Amino acid sequence: MSQTNPNIAFEDLADDKTQIAFIEKDWSVGQMMEMSKIGMAQCLDKMAKALKIQQRRT
């Protein structure tokens, strides 16, 4: 199993928005890399949905 070196960066944007950059390096091209991309996209989609729900409550 290969090990990746993830990096997460947060950048403040206008209008109380934040941009998140999630970068994983050192993946070998192939099925595991693609599965990681799909999994991360799902996690970020869920986080965005949760934040929208929380924002509506405040």
Taking only the tens place, the pLDDT of each residue in 7-52 is 999 999 998 888 989 888 888 888 988 998 899 899 989 988 998 8
Token pair listed for 34: 């693609």
CA 23 to chain centre: 8
The Cβ-side half-sphere exposure at 41, using a 13 Å CA radius, reads 6
Q: What percentage of residues in the chain have a pLDDT greater than 90?
A: 33
pTM score, whole prediction:
0.65
CB 44, CB 24: distance < 8 Å: no
Q: Tens of pLDDT along 10-19?
A: 999 998 888 9
> For 46, what's the count of Cα atoms within 13 Å in the CB-facing half-sphere?
6
Q: Is the dihedral of CA 46, 52, 57, 58 positive or negative?
A: positive
